[in-house]
Amino acid sequence: MWASGAYGYLGDYLWWWLVVASLIGHTLCFFKLVRRGRLRLVIGNVLLTLCLLSVVGLMAETYLRFVSVETDSHGATLTTKRWQKAYAQLNSLYCRDKEWSESKPAGIHRIAFVGDSFTYGWGINDPRDRFTNIIQHRFDQQTPGRVEVMNVAWGGWDSQDQLGAIRDLLTPYDVDEIVLCYVPNDIESLLPVDEKADPRKPRKSVYLNVESSFLVNHLYYRLFPPRLPEGVTYASWLADGYADQNIWAKQQQRLLAIIDLCRQRNIALRAALLSLLWPKGQGYDAPRLHAQLRDFFVKNGIPVIDLLPTLDGQASLRLVVNSRDPHPNELAHRLFADAIWNSLDPGRSSPKSP
């Protein structure tokens, strides 16, 4: 009865009912016992106000706890955890995909899309609406039973994590081709952070237990976003990292390690540059940054699919999951799928010769 789950601890929720019932009960007793006087008017108004606020709070708590299933960009809120329990069904290797067979059936061409939360489909309820699943569906229509798409991604993965996945996870599955789904924040772990001002995550509460109430949790993460140094935005922090030659050199080494590993294992590699869906005016020059990344991959002989032009002219609010989560929504995933599909040249994708 008291166990936690998608709806939190039942005991925490019962406290809301206890508080509301207690306030209403005390208010009724007060008006019954105190029938006249100025003090009755003042205290009575205070008690009625508290009753109304507690009822509104209970309604909000009930909605957030049992109805709302909404993600935030950092995965910090309790409603996000509900979304994960409801929609993020994982296979035995903790990827949001079907089970894969290590012994690849004859005549199958395997393409693994390796990425982070964008590829994972963060905030996308139905995996069939992700660009990887849309591409699989198109392969199934064009060349049934000939191509298998694998979604190898996790929220928060950066280039080092993706290297580890390619090295440790994909080798037993005899992958023919990898599409590295690169998002500009894949450099995050190389960027300088202050212990008190980490742009990657909201700061923890010292005085409140924000895990016991969905309403308190919701309000806290609305009022206290990630703490940034004065004059710095997340976007400018990211852009400064690419402008720093030392940091960019380290990131290139990580990407070169992925390229070398694929070449050693005879796996075809291409890069898809997925664009961040930033509002304007944050000091983030997306075209310049994408050009920097595109030049790196082309210089190293890796075909590039730049998805920035795909979203050109689109209002960013039409492309995001919700107002607090700038991950790509179903529309953005369809646009990604169209651009990647056209660049893949499905007729070229054929199984390796035995």
Task: Please count the other Cβ atoms lying within 10 Å of the Cβ belonging to residue 261.
Answer: 17
Structure confidence at residue 229 (pLDDT): 66
Taking the model in full, what pTM does it have? 0.88
Please give the single-letter amino acid code of residue 170. Answer: L
Q: Tokens for 127? A: 């995996």
Q: What is the CB neighbour count within 10 angstroms for residue 204?
A: 10
- Would you say residue 304 has pLDDT above 50? yes
Q: Are 136 and 129 in contact (CB under 8 A)?
A: no
Q: What is the pLDDT of residue 351?
A: 40
Quick check: 248 and 242 in contact, CB under 8 A?
yes
What percentage of the chain's residues is helix, strand, coil (to nearest 5)? Answer: 50, 10, 40
Mean pLDDT of 32-39: 78
pLDDT tens for each residue of 41-66: 888 888 899 999 999 999 999 999 99
Cβ pair 11, 2 in contact under 8 A: yes
324 touches 337 (CB < 8 A): no
Is residue 350 scored above 70 in pLDDT? no
Distance CA 102, CA 2 (A): 41
The confidence score (pLDDT) of residue 328 equals 96
- pLDDT band (50, 70, 90) for residue 210: confident
Highest mean pLDDT among 10-24, 126-140, 273-287, 301-315: 126-140
- pLDDT, tens digit, 9 for 90 and up, residues 153-171: 999 999 999 999 999 877 7
pLDDT at residue 282 in the model: 65
* Structure confidence at residue 1 as a pLDDT band (50, 70, 90): very low
Q: Which tokens sit at 234?
A: 């997340």
Q: What is the mean pLDDT of the chain?
A: 88
261: confidence class by pLDDT, cuts 50, 70, 90: very high
